[in-house]
Amino acid sequence: MLIDFNNLNINNLSSKTEFELKIKNFLEDWFSDSETVKVQTSGSTGTPKVFDIEKKKMLNSAIMTCNFLRLKEGNTALICLPIEYISGKMMVVRSIERKLKLIVVEPSLKPLEHIEQEIDFCAMTPLQVENSLDKLHLIKNLIIGGAAVSESLKKLLTKNRNLKINYIFETYGMSETLSHIALKQVSPEPEEYFTAFENVEISKDERGCLKIFAPNVNSETLQTNDLVEIKSENQFKFLGRIDNVINSGGAKIFPEQLEALIKKEISNEVVFLGLEDESLGQKLVMIIEGEKSKDLVEKISTFSFDKSFHKPKEIIFIQKIPRTPNGKINRLELKNLL
């Protein structure tokens, strides 16, 4: 399905799949008299919620992204993310706001499999990007969200000589900020810090967690559970979620930082968790996705950690790490499995 928002007639849209029908239903909802639309959270950090969002604020968010990426009327965009979540809805709203031509592709791990034309703008999850490396040269502007971009994926993106992309960005945001409020360039020039959009104020609470005031998209100051390092008034580095912090024998361990280090060395998906332990309180374990490999175990055993307590007490191989519908690792479900 191709939707030209410069010449839109919803009644003429022929929806052949359930996904296309959901997008058509969203468009009918968007152009209704209601001032809000319903959005579902992913549930990766708690119980999934459904809440109403003002259309005006969604348009404000769309304008920030479209202006930053210099998108113009008539440019092509591709949606391959579930329309239930803010990530998918905002791809449609950006297309409405900037009068883009939107190519609708069923969400899958290989969304570019049947794409042959150049695309000006696309948003994907890291897993989708990993499975689309041979076609990424078709995309001029790519934003990656839903989960952190791993070190192994960054390596693949920088090594891929076929890429002719203008820019690749990692996003920072959540449902309450109506998609992202900050971007960090992955390619061509990798950046260490996220840069917040204009009119977005950032600060930290007493725990060291990020606070966001973005009145264009949310009238309230948003308190996150994301531990950050603030470099300047609009730049910050994500350290990890405070709810994921592992307390092992009195030492605080940030699993996301350890995962980033390990993924520089191995290509498998890796998760660090703290499991209950009588003497340590929590013992640090490393979960690796895939078949158990002697070579892999030996490679990890020789890995030099900054601190002795960063070395996992146990390495567990698992066939498939559980994820939420939009691709985020579901740490709670993984912990329950173990």
Q: Assess whether pLDDT exceeds 70 at residue 163.
A: no
What per-residue confidence (pLDDT) applies to 118?
93
**Homologous superfamily, domain 2-199:** ANL, N-terminal domain (3.40.50.12780)
Q: Where are the domains of the chain?
A: 2-199, 245-337
Handedness of CA 51, 212, 169, 117 (dihedral sign): positive
Question: Residue 251: its pLDDT value, please?
Answer: 87
245-337 placed in CATH 3.30.300.30: yes
Query: What is the per-residue pLDDT across 89-122, written as a single tens digit (0 to 9) for each?
Result: 999 999 999 999 999 999 999 999 999 999 999 9
Q: Do domains 2-199 and 245-337 have the same CATH topology?
A: no
pLDDT at 120: 96
Long-range contacts, 121-125 (Cβ 8 Å, 24+): 121/69, 121/71, 121/75, 121/76, 121/77, 121/78, 121/94, 122/77, 122/78, 122/80, 123/79, 123/81, 123/87, 123/91, 123/171, 124/80, 124/81, 125/81, 125/326, 125/327
**Token digits of residue 61:** 């968010």
51 to 123, 181, 328: CA distances (angstroms): 23, 19, 20
| 240-251 pLDDT tens trace | 889 888 988 888
- Tens of pLDDT, residues 40-52: 776 555 566 788 8
Confidence of residue 273 (pLDDT cuts 50, 70, 90): very high
